Chain A
């Protein structure tokens, strides 16, 4: 099985942990608001691509930068990261909060995106099928809402209450709060989505309890060239739960 190699790259003062594996066209994966469930699903992608999965500033193994409090800061962070890696264009894959970020990156930096895949992306406002407010939901409830099959999460969860685990989650929530506390969505977001002119795949688990899969239709309407694949029997963590969802991501980018 492919093993990822870690390097730490200082981007504008922030030590950023970047894991990479494989060769071929670069595929950049942007993770969601919680990183505890790992990146196992990304390993097969390395058979075809140079897979790059960084930790965002304020998450996992990357350093904090409290001054980064807008999505624009994160878009610019990835512009600078790609520059540092000498990469011009990527297949961009974003999950959940990372999907919201990927969509913003693609609308602002479309010349650097070859294909775009949004996996259960956050950020879309829907009164009919609203996204759960992850900041208002207690952690112990949220964890039960992440997957359709809880057993995929169990290996990643502590057996006993663990202050370090709680601290790590609190740190990541803090980073999310910097971005989303005042407004869980950006009223200006829809205004520029039409600029995404790259082919886009939208992937969702049909039992997603965090971001309802019905939002896929709104994305499809907003994006010029998008197709949707919904996976039955999967929750929000559709990539962790369904290997065929991860395969669909690789097949689309290939």
Chain B
């Protein structure tokens, strides 16, 4: 099948202090005295090299995203990462998925993304997340009006990109007397846009209205299917035909020579990702007004199994986790693509505290052994060699 493969990097700060388990949350209020700029510099070099390698081995796109006040991610400003990569990445598209528009002035975000699109000769793709609850504790933005502001911000960005300026905008949150971005995107009418979320119905509705793509993160397989079906239905309702490539499917992926070896090499890093990188408290996940009361109650009733605990079987049964031989992983990806009605795979292959060599090996095996199998272009000699 036609399939698109992204390589997504979380860029965690992995040098946690020995006593880090004393902290219930590694987000929002985890003391920044544990951040060592020299160690961080080495990590940036390493992570950026890994993303450049993703391009070299044939991934179609590379993906970066934004988080604040946390060791989970070293990308509070993902556009800077993208700017660094543009001259080094020859072919891959560059996905900034993305800066929550609520955390920046919308005109400035429109300009910033347009700059990246121009400098990359039209290779930019963007996502407009609402932002996790944690971002609202770290930034001076009211969570109780986050959704309304989010909607208005996107409206301003699209206006800045698609309407001839100078124009103006008089809204509930922003007044622009002269909206006139003197950077216009190279892709017309604008770079491909997505919304990334955790499945709130309000967010899906917004993506459907705007004709954007949508990708759900940290939801179960069954729920993800429901969400894609719902997105297709709601988009059609607004007159938008959702294309398969507009529904990127995030898959935690690790490939090795045998199933056992893959699990053995990967499990501890996945554990780090869930127990340590994602560890936080309910208060930070849901600042006041960020969720509807109904959503909050529903989440309180089922409890939170993602942010601070880990069970390999539970996580791999519930989420899209493809770990094993190239054949196994390719089969899973093909199967899930069919189930979800998508051809766009967002491969999360640098998870937790994986060392450099594992990331590189994983990337190469995915590119050389898995991608051709899913696309049906694997030569029989190559396939046999991998048996």
Q: List A residues at the B interface (Cβ < 8 Å).
A: 66, 69, 135-136, 138-139, 161, 163-164, 166-167, 170-171, 173-174, 176-178, 181-182
Contacts and interface: CB of A to CB of B under 8 A. Distances in A.
A170 B293 contact: yes
A167 B289 contact: no
B288 A163 contact: no
Interface string B297-330: 1101100000000000000000000000000000
A217 to B, nearest CB: 31
A177 B296 contact: no
B297 A166 contact: yes
A177 B143 contact: yes
Given A178-B144, A181-B142, A166 B289 contact: no
Contacts of B298: 163
A161 B299 CA distance: 13
A167 B288 contact: no
Given A138-B281, A138-B283, A182-B140, A176 B288 contact: yes
A182 B142 CA distance: 6
B84 interface: no
A163 to B, nearest CB: 4
A104 B145 CA distance: 24
A174 B301 contact: no
* Residue in B281, B291, B297, B298 with the greatest tally of chain A CB atoms within 10 Å: B297
B286 interface: yes
B287 interface: yes
Interface of B is mostly: helix
Interface of B: 137, 140, 142-145, 281, 283, 286-289, 291, 293-294, 296-298, 300-301
A177 to B, nearest CB: 4
Nearest to A167: B297
B286 A177 contact: no
Contacts of B293: 167, 170-171, 174
A157 to B, nearest CB: 15
A166 B288 contact: no
Nearest to B297: A167
Given A139-B283, A178-B145, A181-B288, A170 B140 contact: no
B288 A177 contact: yes
Nearest to A134: B288
B288 A164 contact: no
Contacts of A66: 144
A178 B281 CA distance: 22
B136 to A, nearest CB: 9
The 4 closest A-B pairs by CB, nearest first: A177-B288, A173-B288, A174-B289, A167-B297
8 contacts: A135-B288, A163-B300, A164-B297, A174-B288, A181-B143, A181-B144, A181-B288, A181-B289
Given A170-B297, A177-B142, 6 more contacts: A163-B298, A167-B297, A174-B144, A177-B289, A181-B143, A182-B142
* Residue in B143, B281, B286, B288 with the greatest tally of chain A CB atoms within 10 Å: B288
Contacts of B300: 161, 163, 166-167
Contacts of A174: 144, 288-289, 293
A58 to B, nearest CB: 10
Contact of B296 (A136, A161, A167): A167
Contacts of B288: 135, 170, 173-174, 176-177, 181
Contacts of A181: 142-144, 288-289
A178 B301 contact: no
